[in-house]
Every structure is written in structure tokens, then in C-alpha cells.
Amino acid sequence: MSPPLLLPRADGSLAPYTPARRAAPAAVSGPITSRIAYAAVHVVADPLADVNPTLDTALDWEATVAYRRYLWSLGLAVAEAMDTAQRGMGLDWATVKELVRRVQAEARRTPGALVGYGAGTDQLVPSDRVTVADVEAAYEEQIGFIEGEGGRVILMASRALAACARSADDYVKVYGRILEQVRRPVIIHWLGDMFDPALAGYWGSRDLDRAMEVCLAILKDHAAKVDGLKLSLLDCQREIAMRRRLPAGVRMYTGDDFDYPTTILGDGTHRSDALLGIFDAIAPVASAALHALDAGDVARYQAIFGPTVPLSRHVFRDPTRFYKTGVVFLAYLNGHQSHFRMVGGMESARSVVHLAELFRLADQAGVLRDPDEAAERLRRVLAVAGI
């Protein structure tokens, strides 16, 4: 047996830790039926590409696509090219187009595969001269490409719109024109400024009550073109309040990585489907919990999901926008990629203390597929930090 790990603590000391080796739930295959459950999925960087990692994008395409196959095999849907894939933090529009082509081709070959693609405006060069019309054109370009490939659209929040909009009326105008054009219903993504500071004041107000009213009005006016709302405000009570007011037929997709067991389970009258970054990191556990819910075994659902909540809250702790580092670190620990490198050099966005605690919480939650192998992989990262 390997010697105990020495994990760094915030005070600079090292503490021995012996993995608990908590048994992970047995893998369950087949579709999930009681909820739609999207995992917002990461991309795998090519660690050997001779590029500047802070300026250029190079992906390991086989490892990236293989991870999508893995998620589909667990009954999960894939939310592609979203913020988890580092949109706006290293993944550029040119690479996104190739990603859509490859993943959509794989989805066609995979029975039952469900995938949605993030459409935004990140091809716009930031400038004071960017107008609302420019935002509309950028959305139209990305939606047109995704739909042209046969893909479903997840309409992402726009940094450019947040920067140039003068009032809520501009949001109503842009979303109205875009929703009139889409070929089939889309998921609208409300991403809070804890995930992206550039989105502060989205929907025309920093007052979340007012912002919610604008969003609800847009959903009501265009309900036939909206599959659902993906709410990422890390506010369980606001999500519960908002989903009660959604138009008939419009789903609430929880984006609450702090309280997803509660929002997904529901209150007996209303419930949330899911579109979550944490489902990338805890995919087999999420699949097992949701299959238990399919079977009506709420106690097992809660027993499986409960231990993952402290892990998720750690991954998404402030500054929340750097959660992608924890997601990719878990993929590395679990052997889904051979390295801990990220697009944009974002592997450096979290401290070694944070990563060590992430390992401990993942071990306690039964998320590590092979705790001994994960511990060895962690040792390599700690060694780079001088431990």
C-alpha cells in the first residue's frame, strides 16, 4: 500500500491523508427517464502542441470526443461549447466550429445521444463601437452554423450585449429577433456574474428581481421557441420561485451547482431538469443518482448525491469562474486524460491547496474511480509544487 499522502493546508503545513476509498455506486447504463440531465462538458487540451497556451487553442480531439461518448454511455446529455468548455476563457469561435462538427458527427453515430451547443457572440472583438445590431448578427452567425450542422441551440448570455445594451428594451429586442428565427426551441442560459463578471446587470438591471421580470416576459412572449431556461445564479430559492412562473411547456434547467439535489428532486409540484458543470466531474455518480430517482428510490437518490455537494461547493467556490480548473483536475485524477493541462493555461487558476482539498472531498464523495491511481496522479501535481 502506498504511504499516506501529504496534503498542503492553507497555513503552509502538510497533513497526512489516507484515502477513504469510499465505494462508488455501481455504473448504470441506459437512458435517464425522469429528468433531462445535461452535463456541461470540458475540452481536453493537446499538451504537446507547440503553441502559446495563453494565446492559442489546441485540443486533443480524440480525448475530447471520447469523453462525450463516455457521458452518453451513462445516460447523460451533453451541453457542448458552454462556459465549462472555457468559452470566453481560452476556447475561441474558430475552434468551437470544429468542435461542433466533430461532436455532432459522433452524436449521429451514437444511438440516443442528446447534445446541445452553446451559441453566443464571442467572435465579436470587444470595442466601444460594438452595437446591438452587431450582437444580433453575431448570434445569427453562431446559431446558423449550429443549426446548419443539425445541432440544438443553447442560447448563451452575451458579454457584448451586456456591454452595449442601454436598457432592458435592448434585451427584449435582441432576444425577440433571435427567437423569431430559430428553427426549433432553444435553451436560454442566464449566467450570473459570479460565473462571469462581464455579465453583471444582465437583462438590463443589477436588481435581480427586475432582471427576473424581464427574462420572464421574454420567455412568455416567445414560449413556443423556448425549450427551457438554464438558471445559473447559485440561488436555490430564486430558482424555485422562478420556475413556478415559467410559461407552460418551458422547462427549468437547474444550474445551481450548490443545491442541485434539492432543485432536481422538486417540491412535489414543480421540479427542475439539469444543465450542470458539476455533472461533468461526477458523471457516474450523477447517473446512478438519477437512475435511482427514475426507480422512485428517493432515499437512494439522496444518499448518492448528498456526499457530492461539499465537493461541488468547493469546485465552484469564489472566484466561481475558475471552477473549470477543478472539473478538468477531476477528469485527470479519474484517468480520462493523461495530463493536467488546460486551454489558456487555466490549470494555474486554482492553488495547490485548493486542488488537494478537492482530491480529499472527491475521495469522501466516492467520485474517484480508482483512489490509488488518483492518489498517484495527485502526487505528481504535488511534486511540481515542491511536495
Instruction: State residue 58's pLDDT score.
Output: 96
Q: Return d(Cα 331, Cα 350) in angstroms, integer.
A: 15
Using the 8-state DSSP alphabet, how is residue 186 labeled?
E
Rounded CA separation 224/179 (Å)? 9
Strand 152-155, strand 5-8: pairing: unpaired
Name the residue among 331, 285, 336 with its Cα closest to residue 307.
Answer: 285
User: How far is the C-alpha of 211 from the C-alpha of 199, rounded, in Å?
Assistant: 12
pLDDT of residue 66: 98
Segments in 165-201 forming alpha helices (H): 168-181
pLDDT of amino acid 4: 82
| Cβ atoms 188, 219 nearer than 8 A | yes
SS3 232: strand
pLDDT of residue 22: 77
Q: What is the reported pLDDT for 100?
A: 98
Which of the residues in the chain have pLDDT under 70? Answer: 1-2, 23
- The Cα 159–Cα 122 span in angstroms is 8
Predicted local confidence at residue 30, as pLDDT: 86
| Other residues' Cβ atoms within 10 Å of the Cβ of residue 26 | 8
What is the predicted pLDDT for the residue at 1? Answer: 52
**Torsions phi, psi for 270 (to 5 deg):** -125, 150
CB 80 within 8 A of CB 103: yes
- The shares of helix, strand and coil residues in the chain, as percent rounded to the nearest 5, are 50, 15, 40
Supply the pLDDT for residue 315. Answer: 98
Q: Tell me, what's the pLDDT at 3? A: 73
Domains of the chain plus CATH, in order, are: 28-351 (3.20.20.70)
Query: What's the pLDDT score for residue 180?
Result: 97
| Grid cell locating 263 | 432543485
- pLDDT at site 2: 62
DSSP state letters, 285-297: HHHHHHHHHHTT-
Q: Under 8 Å CB-to-CB from 318, ≥6 apart: which residues?
A: 194
Alpha-carbon gap, residue 387 to 382, rounded angstroms: 5
